[in-house]
Chains A and B, each alone.
Chain A
Amino acid sequence: MSRKSKRAKAAQIRETMAAEGASVRENTRGFNQGRYDTVADLENYEELKDEARRIKEDAIERLPELIDQLTETIEANGGTVYLAEDEADANEYIASLVESDETVVKSKSMTTEEIEVNEHLEAEGANVVETDLGEWVLQVADEAPSHLVAPAIHKSRESIAELFREQFDPDRPLDTPEDLTAFASEYLADAFENADVGMTGANFLTADSGSMMLVTSEGNARKTVTATDRHVAVAGVEKIVPSVEDLQPFVELIGRSGTGQDITAYISLLTPPVETATFGEDELEGSDDRDFHLVLIDNGRMAMREDEQLRETLYCIRCSACANTCANFQQVGGHEFGGETYTGGIAGGWETGVHGLDSSEEFVDLCTGCSRCVEACPVGIDIPWINTVVRDRINRGAEDHSYDFLVDGLTPDAEEGGMSLQKRFFGNFVTVAKLGSLFAPVSNRLASFGPNRWIAERLLGVDQRRDMPQFSRETLKKWASERDGPADPDREVVFMADTYTNYMHVERGKAAIRALEALNVDVEVADVTESGRAALSQGMVATATRHGERVADELLPHVEDGRDVVIVEPSDLAMLRDDYGRLLDAETYEQLSENSYEILEYVYGLLENGADADALRDGNGTEIAYHGHCQQRTLGLAAHTEAVLEELGYDLVTSDVECCGMAGSFGFKQQYYDVSMAVGEELREQFSTPEAEGRTIVASGTSCHDQLTDLMKQDVPHPIELVAP
């Protein structure tokens, strides 16, 4: 992305946030909280997720066989099945089922959005009416869906009322949600009355019975099928599961995961051609003449199935949990965080698979890899990884090499191609940090110096409004090398000081070492600092892998000598615990993963195993406000920090936002500065309530520290700095 387009992108995002942000924010947060509340009531939530995942893995593995079985079953029942290779193929077939002057009523279907069937049928002279209220609003407004489940989530009640006034000039005022709903359902009742063809999607298809499952709340899908005697169902091939019983975990998970409802009003299980009576001229008529066509869409899906990295996308049940839980999505919505059709984190996989990398490139950097969506996803898709792979592919395909020579010296990466300078700069930050530390404090003055900031913004897209990190002249490694550890230690650890802790936020590293030594642990500081997190977040998979290999070379001998690995920065720990599973061989990954600990997780373990808490600093009721790190929460480790702080007598309040908004380099980038600050604003509000105001703010992540320091205008230490002697 060029400088000009970075500025244009920033302006575009600002405009969307101003127009749509408030509605999106309110609704997605409501859904997200609803998810937390409703899954908490489910005793076997984790088992259901595992079961759902297993069913999808198996179904995609056996997909060709299931397509055949489903086709045979439906055809034996008297329906037809058409396997469409791509959009054009699907549209041509669907158009052959509809006469040019006929009316088609539709229930909501993202797959029909993907193939743009409405436009195609309308061009052929048919009248297409969306009957889901949200979809109908968008059809009237001529806008695209901004959310997988609630397509008009970006529109407020006021803007819908205004739209209806303009378009329909209603003879009564339409102000309340009840008025608007009644007006829409009356209008659509006429459409159902005149409809010739009913078109639906399908949330699931069962190969054994030839049934489809539709998940709705309004009842429009039921009416779409009942009111017409020609039913066209359009579904991606990935919607097939082997049997009816396989639907059960999805029925229990889909409403909870998406809109935070235990179950939606109607789960329709239809085995077409359906037996349902329809409305004859005078009397209800039997079901003998019903006509059914299932259009199964490939459109890139069979290739995704063969693509080791994109295959997981096909497990997606399109519940929208990944969008609702995403701090960035909550601010910008699907018109920014989405491609041609699909929205939210999982859109990176869908758009790449069905529309290509160009569609994903527009939005995929809005995924910061914070990982909050992974635990929200009912089938456990590693969405951040898919987006990393997508970024990597975009990087490799990029062609603008014009300024490469300027950054080459600073960026000894393993990437091919001409990826953006901004990505190379942030992805290779360890090199910058080393030099910065070596030349501090001169480098700090230079980095903050106006003209250099201007160059950084022009060339690298580093937003001028951000404070540059300050390099420390003395690295943590140097400081630690001059210390004597405990004479007779109970345990030995190797401390991996991440790039920030070693070169910039040295105080947190010193505190970690003092705390460990006070608990009679011998600490050796590792030579390696960079886990590869910075590179991975820019989609530089090869560079991240190279860093991972160095970390393994350095740390494994320590592990073999019986030392535990301790890390301060959660995003780097997450590399060892989680991401290295994708980058390194299985045995290396397992050894690193099983033997690495977050600093307060380790302290918690020491105290649990009899270490003397008196060796640490007593809280004495000190009032603090704590913000855990996104990846730390996904790893399940925020609780350990909270437990240690409470045991030591601190008076604690905690934030409950999904992410601070800084997310590594994201908040430094010119095009995303406003999104980052909008996400951070939530955190600022939470820490400005009467309960939280005036407390010492502590945060576990480096990014969270930077963001909170900017937002709260106060120093934000790591919790270890409080408890270390």
Chain B
Amino acid sequence: MATTAGDATVNQFTAALEELDVGWTLTTTDELPGELERFPEPIVGVPFPFEDVSLPESIPRAERSDGVKAASTGVTAATLGIVEYGSVVVESKPPETEPVSLYADTHVAVVRLEDIVDSMSDAFAELGPRLRETGGNAIIATGPSATADMGALVRGVHGPSDVHVVIVK
């Protein structure tokens, strides 16, 4: 995979996130449960499609429809991070990922350091084969939901008003 793991990548990616007013945390697999538990409750999560990083047992799974709609925090995996834009890519694997990342007030996206790529071109080099071979959805999400239709920029319209990216080393 075209990655540039390392401090420089983290520094540039987190600088881009800060510009978007998106919070971030750099952590390890061991510390992940503690990092996620501190977000506002009710909190729901979706299992991650990774072999080496899992959704902590302490985070309730998204199962009930009303639970997902009422969640303050939704935790999902992000399968790519894009340094240039401060974007995360949220794929519909498993299928609960989309509603959980969309309906909660705060979306917490967990991305592995090695999945952070430099550019939009790099991201599409990954996404092209994935969409062709296995279909599915990929949302390139950059910052919170926003509108300017009511006379000024307002965050949180139909999607989360806050986004937090957790980078796992």
Contact = CB atoms under 8 A, between A and B. Distances in A.
Contact of B145 (A132, A206, A265): A265
The 7 A-B residue pairs whose C-beta atoms are closest, nearest first, are A219-B159, A157-B151, A219-B158, A133-B149, A277-B95, A271-B135, A267-B140
Interface string A438-451: 00000000000000
A188 interface: yes
A190 B87 CA distance: 30
B99 interface: yes
B2 interface: no
A208 B130 CA distance: 12
Interface string A160-190: 1000000000000000011011001100100
A182 to B, nearest CB: 8
B64 A284 contact: yes
Interface in B68-105: 68-69, 85, 87, 92-99, 102
Interface of A: 77, 131-134, 137, 150, 152, 156-157, 160, 177-178, 180-181, 184-185, 188, 206, 208-211, 217-220, 222-223, 226, 243-245, 247-248, 251-252, 259, 262-271, 274-284, 286-287
B150 A181 contact: yes
Nearest to A156: B151
Most buried by B among A157, A188, A219: A219
B11 interface: no
A218 B137 contact: no
Contact of A185 (B63, B68, B153, B158): B158
Contact of A150 (B66, B87, B140, B148): B148
Contact of A269 (B85, B121, B139, B149): B139
B158 A275 contact: no
B60 to A, nearest CB: 13
A268 B139 contact: yes
B145 A218 contact: yes
A244 B157 contact: no
Nearest to A211: B131
Nearest to B154: A181
Given A177-B153, A219-B102, 9 more contacts: A131-B158, A178-B154, A209-B131, A218-B158, A266-B145, A267-B140, A268-B137, A269-B127, A277-B98
Contacts of B8: none
Given A275-B92, A284-B63, A219 B145 contact: yes
**Interface size class for chain B?**
35 or more
11 contacts: A157-B150, A209-B131, A222-B158, A223-B158, A248-B124, A262-B85, A266-B145, A267-B139, A267-B142, A278-B99, A284-B95
Contacts of A133: 147, 149-150, 157
B90 to A, nearest CB: 9
B6 interface: no
Given A222-B102, A226-B102, A266-B141, A279 B69 contact: yes
A265 B143 contact: yes
A244 B132 contact: yes
A160 B145 CA distance: 21
Contacts of A184: 150, 157
A266 to B, nearest CB: 6
Contacts of A275: 92-93, 95, 135-137
B154 A177 contact: yes
Interface in B107-134: 120-121, 123-125, 127-128, 131-132
Contacts of A188: 158
A277 B96 contact: yes
Contact of B149 (A152, A208, A280, A287): A152
A77 B132 CA distance: 11
A213 to B, nearest CB: 9
B140 A281 contact: no
Nearest to A189: B158
A222 B127 contact: no
A217 B143 CA distance: 9
B65 A280 contact: yes
Contacts of B141: 265-266
A265 B94 CA distance: 22
Given A218-B159, A219-B102, A269-B137, A287 B95 contact: yes
Contacts of B132: 208-209, 244
Nearest to A259: B148
B144 interface: yes
Nearest to B63: A283
A160 B150 contact: yes
Contacts of B85: 262-263
Contacts of A259: 148
B167 interface: no
A584 B153 CA distance: 49
Contacts of B128: 209, 243-245
A134 B151 CA distance: 10
A302 to B, nearest CB: 27
Given A222-B102, A282-B64, A274 B151 contact: no
A275 B96 CA distance: 9
Given A177-B152, A219-B159, A283 B65 contact: yes
A269 B158 contact: no
A41 to B, nearest CB: 10
Contact of B65 (A220, A252, A267, A279): A279
Nearest to A213: B140
A463 to B, nearest CB: 35
Contact of A160 (B69, B131, B146, B151): B151
A131 B102 CA distance: 15
Given A157-B152, A211-B131, A271 B158 contact: no
A189 to B, nearest CB: 8
A283 to B, nearest CB: 6
A286 B92 CA distance: 11
